[in-house]
Amino acid sequence: MRFIMLGKPLLVEAMSHSHQTHGTRMSITFQRHPSTYNHWSLDVDGAIATVTMGVDPQQPLNPGYELKLNSYDLGVDIELADLLMRLRFEHPGVAVVVLRANDDKVWCAGANILMLRSSAHHFKVNFCKFTNETRFAIEDAQNQSGQHWIAAVRGVCAGGGYELAVCANEILLADDGRSAVSLPEVPLLGVLPGTGGLTRVVDKRKVRRDHADVFSTLSDGVRGKRAKAWRLVDEAVPLSRFEERIAERAQQAAGSATGTEQGIELTALEFNHDDTGYHFEFVDLQIESHRRLATLTMRSPHQTADQINDLTAEAIRELGENFWALKAYRELNEALLHLRFNHIEVGTVLIKTEGDIDATLAMDTKLHELKENDWFIREVVLYMGFVLRRLDLTARSFYALMEEESCFAGSLLELGLAADRSYLLEDEAGENGIAIGALSNGSLPMSNGLTRIGCRFLHDPKAGHALAEEQGRYYGIEAEEVGLVTFALDDIDYPDEVRPAIEERTSLSPDALTGMEANLRFAGAETVETKVFGRLSAWQNWIFQRPNAVGETGALQSFGEPTTPKFDWRRT
């Protein structure tokens, strides 16, 4: 069947196990449009945008719970992720974003507890991962696109709500004796306080450890002047001046920005979805459920290298959403999300590429040349980096198969470098190879801030930097010898090595593999991002299965019920 998904959350039957609510299997969709948002509104006035959270309790992603008190589920966050994309591509002139809520009593109560209680374990963890990726997208817009975010908090701002606020450049808290910020998960739910929020408190906001300890065990949170003194917010503003102060800070942050830059329109991606998988113009995701295996294929631009070389910034902007680098990576993003949420038993993904190496390298060069002076091309490159990081953070085993007529070049080589292993087939003509492009030397960083070549060459950074600078092509065994592929094999050894390797991987414990891969993928120094996702992979996976949280007498199960949790008091 053909999907053109737009508007209200659409639920269709899943091909395989996905989010389970009250025994019903659902397949989750990921495309939205502002005209039918249920939970967010966007108002743009020149250089200042106001993003308002107003969650409709009667519009959960799945039936079985209400989204009371501006609590959120995955559907709320899918809309927010769409809104963030539109801010960057449709409203490039926005310099300031004021983030607020439509409820004076509750700014945001965080993740919906009944949703978490009724969800399968895998969904809880994937939900946490998606929400954190969305929050890092907010920070990326601040750091890379010049957007200044102001969280204007009036009312209770708890748990995931505070995690959202703390992503902003600054937090203005109404000092009215009622408004408060909190991370109450430990005392109320018996689970880790958010990972993203907890890490940002100490690493981003530099809150003292002792203050953070008290803060994270207070179910009622911290208000007013103490919240300001403890660095939990930037200002505690008397209610009588709250609206005035929001306007002042927005105008100050906007400076001389006019907001007159014209953006492009983003429409729904079109793709075919059938029993074999998801089929886009530039991306194909084949699903073999019975083998717990998928094949992800990405194709190069349709244009020739000469045609790409002749493109101007104006011509690229005119292509808009149909420009290869934007469309192909939007399709890749969509495929990864379907893989994560709708095909949870698929554990191994084979990465393949097809197309013209020269055209792909020319695209890298063109993007690198123009990204510093053109807002659209800059945003496209930033988005490519975001999607590649989403691949890095996906809990699946990735094997890159570099076979005849492959196109592991330029940004498509990043797929091969992101893979846990890569196998290159040495063809008889000696023409099968890989090529480094202009974007691989810093334009598409990993979560740890390193390039994928730099992460691979931690043992010899100079050699890695030289490879990236040289932008060379490497064929057969040479690609293995320089360190860019795991194995280069001739046509006799290739099937004998690759087939057993795939069969072995699909037979191993998925829990052990998730932990192993998360540890190995981000070598080097840690960042806030690697800390957050490393802890999601380990701590949340663990805590969300512990009886103290999710057992029959656990805190998550007892929340809101006329019972109190009963804990196993043994520390582990």
What confidence score (pLDDT) does residue 540 get? 67
What is the rounded CA–CA span in Å between residue 446 and residue 524? Answer: 11
* Weakest-pLDDT range from 1-10, 54-63, 135-144, 489-498: 1-10
What confidence score (pLDDT) does residue 12 get? 28
Nearest-10 crossing angle of helices 357-370, 324-342: 110
DSSP-based three-state secondary structure for 282 = coil
What mean pLDDT value characterizes the chain?
A: 91
**Bridge partners of 474?**
434
What is the rounded CA–CA span in Å between residue 65 and residue 67? Answer: 7
Query: Tokens 């592929």 sit at which residue?
Result: 485
Contact 221, 201 (CB under 8 A): no
As given in the structure block, the two tokens for residue 440 are 């691989």
What confidence score (pLDDT) does residue 59 get? 97
Q: Read off the DSSP letter of residue 12.
A: B
Sheet holding 283-288, edge to edge: 2-4, 270-274, 277-279, 283-288, 293-299, 348-354, 397-402, 421-426, 487-490
pLDDT band per the 50, 70, 90 thresholds, residue 2: very low
What confidence score (pLDDT) does residue 8 get? 30
Q: Which residues contact 557 (CB under 8 A, 6 or more apart)?
A: 117, 550, 551, 565
* Weakest-pLDDT range from 297-301, 306-310, 516-520: 516-520
Contact 150, 187 (CB under 8 A): no
As given in the structure block, the two tokens for residue 388 are 């590649």
pLDDT (tens digit per residue) in 527-554: 999 988 887 766 666 777 778 878 888 8
Contact 46, 86 (CB under 8 A): no
Contact 496, 502 (CB under 8 A): no
Determine whether 529 is exposed, middle or buried from the number of CB atoms within 10 Å of its CB (0-12, 13-18, 19+). buried
As given in the structure block, the two tokens for residue 258 are 């006019």
pLDDT (tens digit per residue) in 212-244: 999 999 999 999 999 999 999 999 999 999 999
pLDDT at 155 over 60: yes
What is the rounded CA–CA span in Å between residue 269 and residue 274? Answer: 16
**Max CA separation in the chain (angstroms):** 78
What is the rounded CA–CA span in Å between residue 140 and residue 136? Answer: 6
What confidence score (pLDDT) does residue 16 get? 30
Q: Which domains does the chain have, with CATH numbers?
A: 39-241 (3.90.226.10), 272-516 (3.90.226.10)
**CA pseudo-torsion sign 286, 25, 196, 348:** negative
Percent of the chain with pLDDT over 70: 94
As given in the structure block, the two tokens for residue 555 are 């805190």
Helix, strand, coil percentages (3-state) for the chain, rounded to 5, are 45, 20, 35
As given in the structure block, the two tokens for residue 334 are 């969509």
* Weakest-pLDDT range from 75-84, 120-129, 290-299, 312-321: 120-129
Closest CA to 363 of 351, 376, 379, 381: 381
What is the rounded CA–CA span in Å between residue 418 and residue 421? Answer: 9
pLDDT band per the 50, 70, 90 thresholds, residue 194: low
Contact 397, 513 (CB under 8 A): yes
What is the rounded CA–CA span in Å between residue 281 and residue 299? Answer: 8
What confidence score (pLDDT) does residue 535 get? 78
Contact 283, 335 (CB under 8 A): yes
As given in the structure block, the two tokens for residue 313 are 């910034």
pLDDT band per the 50, 70, 90 thresholds, residue 555: confident
pLDDT band per the 50, 70, 90 thresholds, residue 430: confident
Closest CA to 527 of 407, 389, 430: 389
Torsion of CA 103, 109, 111, 112, to 10 degrees: -80
| Phi, then psi, of 100 in degrees rounded to 5 | -145, 180
pLDDT (tens digit per residue) in 11-45: 222 223 333 333 334 689 999 999 999 999 999 99
pLDDT (tens digit per residue) in 340-358: 999 999 999 999 999 999 9
3-class DSSP string for 166-192: CCCCEEEEEECCCCEEECCHHHHHCCC
